[in-house]
A and B are shown apart, each in its own frame.
Chain A
Amino acid sequence: GDSVTQMEGPVTLSEEAFLTINCTYTATGYPSLFWYVQYPGEGLQLLLKATKADDKGSNKGFEATYRKETTSFHLEKGSVQVSDSAVYFCALISGGYQKVTFGTGTKLQVIP
């Protein structure tokens, strides 16, 4: 079945540092890929998405590129802020089904 593997957390960075959160996937067919973010005390919200190979999703300074050859969708940001502290989930949907498969989440803490 489909699965998503993302790097263990927590990740602690200083403000303005470069962020990478790794995500790899296993899926049948050609999945669409997503990053969701969960701020403290809130539900998840969509951060960015990519629907086909080599697409780059971007939002709020975050980027991720759909790499079919390495089955990866790593999240990057050039300069993190304290307000980026949250849990980040990589996810996919494939095969025309409604089910979204999530990774285990990576907690990011940004310190001033």
Chain B
Amino acid sequence: DVKVTQSSRYLVKRTGEKVFLECVQDMDHENMFWYRQDPGLGLRLIYFSYDVKMKEKGDIPEGYSVSREKKERFSLILESASTNQTSMYLCASSPATATGELFFGEGSRLTVL
């Protein structure tokens, strides 16, 4: 069964901490994405990557960075967490062809105190 695995389902961090959210996919997909999901706002794209070591800003990249050192792994980094980054974070992957079908992980719910 194909899978996108996010390392932590629930995290609680303090303001100013550095936070790492990890995502691994086993489908050999070229594209990987990080979204945040907030009530009433739907899914908003933070960053995406279409190849190893490549990254593109999405719609809301401020306060975030990403790392993709291996094809299967895409990390989201909050350099200095703030309370307005409390959210559900969803990782997704897709093959190189832009079909629009994304495969999602179960999400990481981050609370910043």
- Measuring CB to CB, which residues of chain A are less than 8 angstroms from any residue of chain B? 32, 34, 36, 41-46, 49, 89, 91-93, 96-100, 102-105
Contact = CB atoms under 8 A, between A and B. Distances in A.
Interface residues of B, number: 23
Interface string B29-54: 00100010000111101001010000
Given A104-B40, A104-B41, A104-B42, A42 B100 contact: no
A93 B100 contact: yes
A89 B100 contact: no
A86 B48 CA distance: 26
B74 interface: no
A35 B58 CA distance: 21
B100 A32 contact: yes
Given A43-B4, A44-B90, A96-B98, A102 B42 contact: yes
